[in-house]
Each structure stands twice: as structure tokens, then as C-alpha cells.
Structure 1
Amino acid sequence: MAREQVNRLVIEHEEIVGVDYSTQGLTELVAVGTRFERCRFDGLRFQYVALGSGMELSQYVECSFDGAVLTGTAGYSRFIGCTFRNAEIRDLTADYLELVECAFTGRIKSTTFWGAPPPGSAERFTSNLAFLAEQGQPEPPGYRMLALRESNEFHGNDFSGVDLVGVDFRYGIDLTRQRLPTGSDYLYLEDAEAALHRALMLLVDRPADDLTAQVERSLRRMLDREISTGQRQLLFREVDYSNKGVLKPHARLMFDLLRNASN
């Protein structure tokens, strides 16, 4: 089997302004402590990206990734005023990703956006420091602030024209400060906690069968996993609960209950 050629770009500790990478045929991008301003990555089909590699922040300011394909890890990266029009973002690890006033169309798939570093961040920080100590290296300047920060900045982003498939917003992302898709198969709960509790109350009138029990478990799991960790609004999409285009029975009941509860 022929192996696809890799065209890898690694940039460390640079400030780059106005460079057009879209004609360079890149398939991998690794950035460490680098700031890109008004750069173009349009149409590139990345096999792998490490947008903020290492233990330093990389920033992208008013850059365009229009028509690009991105998969990999966001690392410690911050995007301000960037565009991802007709782009495809898939399987992106985004634990520390920050997005401010960015615009998306195209598709985002199998990606979780975090309003704060996810569980295990402090343990990873401690482990990394221990590794550095074994190598006789000091703690990198600013690394503690990045790894242990309380929140990821995430606001002013336009997702209204993007196709979201298997996408979650967790740990306190304020969805009232984003533009969201509004198709008929999306369900947005602005006061998610209240809607979940009302949906549980509506279940009381149903027979105590396996379907009811399954939906109750799902609703209570959301209260525990999402609401208790700071997520105040929730966005659902039916396709994420479908099999070959058909909504699963427990999901159909859950969506009906939540729509009634949100009204």
C-alpha cells in the first residue's frame, strides 16, 4: 500500500505575520510557543496538527483555515478572530483550546470543547514536572499558569452555519455567548438544569418499564456529568442518538420530554 507523503512544518518560538501556507501542501503542523497573525492555511488537508505543542502557548490571530481539514491536538493554543469556513475539524483533542470571536462553517465532528481544563489536568502537570526533573530541566516559564488555569476563554464564536456531529460543550462554556445552529434536529436548553429536572418529573407519569428506566438514567447522568461540572446550557442533536438515520427509542422519548420541559 502506498504511503501518503508527509509534508511537515514545525515552528518554534517565532512571530509570523502574513504568511500564506495554503500553497505549500502541508500535511502536518506542529507549533511551539509561536504567534501567527493574518496567516493563511486555506485548503490544507492536515493528517495531523499539534496547534499548541509543548508547554507553551501558541496563538493564531486573524488567521484563516477556510476549506482546511484538521485533526490532532489543539494543545495550549488560542485563536482570536480566525475563520474556519467550509472546514472540517474532526477528532480534535481540545483540552486547553481557547476560541474568541472565530467563525465556523463546514463540519465539526467527534470533538469536545472545554470551558475549563478537564479532569486529570493537575495530575498531568505534576507528572510532567517530575519528568522534567528527571531530565535535569527546570519548570518552563508560564507553564504552571497554562496547565492549572481555572478556565479556557471561549466566547463570541459563530457556529450557526456549521454541521455539528458528536460535539460537546463542557465544563462551563457559556453558550449564550456563542451563535449556535438552529436546525430542527438540534435541541438547545438555555436553563439545562431546570429542563432536566422537569423532564424527570414528566417521567413519573410513564409506566415503570425498561425504556423509562433508560431515559431516567440518561437524564440523571447529564445532571451529574454536565450540570455539576459547571455547564449551564446544553446543545443536543438527534443525529448523535440515531442508528442509520433512525432515532433510537430511548432517545426519541428523551428528546420529547426535554422539548416539553424546555417549553
Structure 2
Amino acid sequence: MAGEQGNRLVVEHEEVVGVDYSVQGLTGLVGVGARFERCRFDGLRFQDVALGSGMELSQYVGCSFDGAVLTGTAGYSRFVGCTFRDAEIRGLKADYLELVDCVFTGRIRSTTFWGAPPPGSAERFTSNLAFLEKQGRAEPRGYRALALRESNEIHGNDLSGADLVGVDFRHGVDLTRQRLPTGTDYLYLPDAEAALQRALAPLVDRPADDLTARVERSLRRMLDREVGTGQRQLLFREVDYSSKGVLKPYARLMFDLVREAAASGS
């Protein structure tokens, strides 16, 4: 079923092929067990999306979101061969988002891409089952596999032309299978654990002051929170550690140490 609620498009359990939504002035998009193929959402300014709402998978295949603005929740959604040229993605909650062979330019801001569902997913699944039981509703077909899957499929994506601000890759996103930005303020670590360990070593020869302590805490936090949860490669950007365009002192030292460590291991 498809319908519009105001300027909000809601598609439930339907396959939509070749529809140009870009002329409809939509500000919201909700997919529930939906499949969109070769649809256009170009230039739309979505104030809130629920791309894969409910407890079912929604799929977007060969669709274009060129020039669009997206914010909201990805939910259980999968994008294959889609384009986001000159798009802006803001604060998208992407716990179960899957991306395959998609192209991004424009800006992605304050978004985390997860190679596996984040901590607490199993607990949320159990809680949702209890909620359904109280309502006398059956567990939706396929929901268990979605909620408890071990990984999200993310590969073949081209982010080389995107401006990444406050973007993280966690829990095993294989960055060797993506095209990444290569600007001078980006720092890519193909072997994050080794590079961070090498960056820690020179700190033992520095004064035991607040600056040294803060850098050490930051590096060890990355080893624990990022590498320790399965993220083998890391991508940093200086702008994420800047204030009013100026890199913070601890961040300057940290970047210097990590750049040197990365260079020595290459």
C-alpha cells in the first residue's frame, strides 16, 4: 500500500518501479517492507525519513537521491547501486543500514556506519518480542534474522567525492572495500591496531603532563572502542577535532604521532 500523508510518502509491502518522486515536493519518506527500483528522489529535502520502518526490510535498488537532504532513521534498509550525488545526509541513525555499490558526493555529517548491529541489538529484539506478545501479535516473518544478524553488508561504495564530517565506521566496516576521500586533512589507517600502538610508544618519553595524558587516553580509547570491537581500518579527519577551524592542541599532537606511525608502517 502506498499513500501520501501531507508531504510524507508512506509505502507498505509494495514494489514501486520507475517512479519520479522528485517533482512531488515530499518532506518525509517511510518504507515498511517496501521495494523501490529505479525511483528518483532527487532534490527532495526530507525533514525526517524512516527508510526501513517497522520490523521488515525495505530495499532501494538503482534509485537516485541526487541533491537530496536526508535526516532521520535508516532502520532495516538496504541500498544497492543507488546514487547520492551532491546530497546531504545529516545525523542518519544507521544501525542496520546496508550499502552496496552506491555513490556519494556532497556531505555526510554526524553519521555512524555499522559493519555489524551495535551493542544492545539483542536486548531490543527481546523487548520488541515482549511488546508484540502483549498486543497478541505474532513475530513478523524474517524479523529474527534481521534483528539478530551478525553483520551489515557494506561494500563497493564510492565515497571518494564526499565531504565527511563527524562520520564513523564501526564494528567491522571493511574500508578496503570502499573508495574513500583522500584530502590532506584525512588520515587513513589500513592497519589501525598496529599504527595506534606505534603512536603510543613515543609518549613514554614526553613529560607526564595533561597534554600527554589526554593523547594517551584518546589513543587507548580508539584501540578499545574501535579496534577492540572489530574495526580493523580507521579514517580520521582533522576537522572533527577542530574548534573554529583551529585544531586543538591535543589533537595536533595526536595527529602528528599517528601520521608518523602510519608512515613508518607503510
- For the superposition of Structure 1 and Structure 2, which TM-score range results when normalised by the shorter chain? over 0.9
Structure-to-structure mapping, 1:1-263, within 5 angstroms: 7-263=7-263
Distance 2:226 2:149 in 1: 20
Distance 1:197 1:40 in 2: 46
Root-mean-square deviation (Å)? 0.8
Aligned residues: 259
Deviation at 1:153, TM superposition (A): 0.1
SS at match of 1:104: strand
Query: After alignment, is 65-74 or 203-212 more displaced?
Result: 203-212
Structure 1 unaligned spans of 5+: none
SS at match of 1:239: helix
Distance 1:262 1:203 in 2: 16
Distance 2:184 2:100 in 1: 27
Deviation at 1:217, TM superposition (A): 0.3
**Which AA in structure 2 matches 1:131?**
F
**Which AA in structure 1 matches 2:239?**
V
Distance 1:18 1:206 in 2: 62
Deviation at 1:187, TM superposition (A): 0.3
Deviation at 1:9, TM superposition (A): 0.8
Query: After alignment, is 65-74 or 6-15 more displaced?
Result: 6-15
Distance 2:202 2:69 in 1: 43
Distance 1:223 1:259 in 2: 16
Deviation at 1:72, TM superposition (A): 0.1
Deviation at 1:148, TM superposition (A): 0.2
Distance 1:125 1:70 in 2: 26
State the Cα deviation string for residues 93-142 of structure 1 (Å, max 9, x = none). Answer: 00000000000000000000000000000000000000000000011000
SS at match of 2:110: strand
Structure 2 unaligned spans of 5+: none
Q: Which portions of structure 1, spanning 4 or more consecutive aligned residues, are displaced by more than 6 angstroms?
A: none
SS at match of 2:125: helix
Distance 1:252 1:81 in 2: 38
SS at match of 2:223: helix
State the Cα deviation string for residues 82-102 of structure 1 (Å, max 9, x = none). Answer: 000000000100000000000
Deviation at 1:6, TM superposition (A): 5.1
Distance 1:205 1:45 in 2: 52
After TM superposition, the score normalised by the length of structure 1 is 0.98
Deviation at 1:205, TM superposition (A): 1.8
| Percent identity of paired positions between Structure 1 and Structure 2 | 84
SS at match of 1:183: coil
